[in-house]
Amino acid sequence: MLGALGQVVMYLVPFLLVLTVVVTIHELGHFLTGRLFGVKMDRFSIGFGPTLLSRTDKRGVEWRLAALPLGGYVRFAGDLDATGVPDRKGLDALKARIQADEGPGAERDYLYFKPVWQRALIVAAGPVANFILAILLFTILFSAVGVQLRPPRVADVAVESPAAAAGFQRGDLITQINGRAVEDGRDVIRIVSLSSGDPVRFVVERGDQQVQLVATPVREVTQDPIAGRVSIGRIGLGLASARDEIRHVRYGVVESVGQGVRQTGEVLSTTLTYLGRIFTGRENGDQLSGPIGIAKASGALTNAAVQANPDPTAMAMNLLLTLTSFAAILSIGIGFLNLLPIPVLDGGHLVFYAYEAVTRQPLPAGIQEAGFRVGLALLACFMLFATWNDLQKLNLFQFLGGLVS
């Protein structure tokens, strides 16, 4: 019983901690940009549910710590509906109410009566804050810890594999993929895993020669220690760097910022590539994860960090570094998800504001309501699909089937 409880704690606590930090930064992006433009706000909450601590500042904003650490939110004064983009009738009613309570001109302090470009910036500031957080965290990791670069040296070529058919040989050093220079074996794995069915162009260093090879990855199901059971592209190469080839690089502050931007861009690029392949039928989407999968990944990372070194100081440092890296990845994911043009998300609000900027009036209430319902349905379908993936990777259905039989 205690062992099971310990596993629950190992999986849930790091996930909730990181999620709360990342979502709080997202909401701070909205909040600080709103304050920059003089928008009146009622509440900034860390967590949901019953209030644990609360205080109201001199601007009338309630700062609140709630019982459920599942993120947080900022509530702008005068919120009318769930879409956050009221139509003309709703705006007129809100304006009349504000003027009756606070006097003429008071409506100018409310979000809905700010110029559309300011509202758009306030909405976009949430995802932007997530990307800035990721860059900052990556910068800290690159400057304080650095990175270990393992050149992609070919140690083994599987028989009758795409790599063997392409002409790879043991000892080849991969220097380019699809015209892009590579220094680390992880870059090779990342690109190949998302290229099943597509020819991949390699340049390898063989002795004093540069040899060009083309291999087409085939999709294989594999058990990843973090992600679980997933299908990825493989060409049948085993990579292993010689001891004297492995380099540990720590970057200066300026270089670390550049590396942080590059790393954030690569994560976004990989995400877009994977989603594009799903929509074109070249991936089945089994790498998409919901809360269960993300919690499992955070638990696995935490467990690995704890077991890496029994020394308490080293254990704490490994745990801190692991959660920092996890927070950066999760922050990018939340920022990207919120930019999708779905009405209930920030991206959907930006679409509404774009319409308003062009037509000089907000969308009619009926269209907003329909968009809101469609957006909720899309999000529900996405969460169901991602949760199904998570349960499949955990082999839950096979387990239940065994119980029934």
Is 193 inside a domain boundary? yes
The pLDDT value given to residue 309? 63
Is 11 inside a domain boundary? no
Residue 72 CA to residue 152 CA, distance in Å, equals 43
Nearest to 68 by CA among 52, 85, 44: 52
Whether 62 is catalytic is no
Distances (CA, A) of 34 to 54, 75, 393, 400: 21, 11, 42, 50
Helix, strand, coil share (%) of the chain residues, nearest 5: 55, 20, 25
Is 166 inside a domain boundary? yes
Is 237 inside a domain boundary? yes
Residue 139 CA to residue 160 CA, distance in Å, equals 42
Name the helix (H) or strand (E) containing 74.
strand 62-76
CATH of the domain at 216: 2.30.42.10
Residue 257 CA to residue 262 CA, distance in Å, equals 9
Q: What is the pLDDT of residues 223-264, one digit of tens each?
A: 666 556 677 889 999 998 888 888 888 889 899 999 999 999
Q: What is the pLDDT of residues 79-131, one digit of tens each?
A: 755 555 667 777 788 788 888 888 888 888 888 899 999 999 999 999 999 99
Is 40 inside a domain boundary? no
Q: What is the pLDDT of residues 19-38, one digit of tens each?
A: 899 999 999 999 999 999 99
Is 236 inside a domain boundary? yes
The pLDDT value given to residue 176? 94
Q: What is the pLDDT of residues 201-211, one digit of tens each?
A: 999 999 889 99
The pLDDT value given to residue 259? 92
Quote the number of domains for the chain: 1
Query: Domain containing 173: what range?
Result: 148-249
Is 36 inside a domain boundary? no
Is 205 inside a domain boundary? yes
